Amino acid sequence: MRKDQHVVPNPKGGWSVRASGAAKASRVFRTQDDAVKHARDLAKREHSELFVHGRDGAIRERNSYGNDPCPPKDER
């Protein structure tokens, strides 16, 4: 089963990496950059999506590392 990865603000400070549907974070980092690097590695390994949330909780970045449901169209 594919587990999309989310980088979200941690209520106790720092940034959490959490799989979709998970109750707990898999890891917590001091900086968002470190959390994104870890989540990107997980998403690539799982061939899933990476969602990076801002401090307000809104998704500010999204990347696909698997079968993209909306691949770019060929320019021909």
pLDDT digits (tens, 9 = 90+) for 30-55: 999 999 999 999 999 999 999 999 99
Residue 48: per-residue pLDDT: 93
Q: Which of 25, 19, 72, 26 is nearest to 49 (CA)?
A: 19
In this structure, are residues 57 and 9 in contact, taking their beta carbons and an 8 Å threshold? yes
What the block records as the tokens of 5 is 């990865």
pTM for the model: 0.84
46, exposed or middle or buried, with CB in 10 Å at 0-12, 13-18, 19+?
A: middle
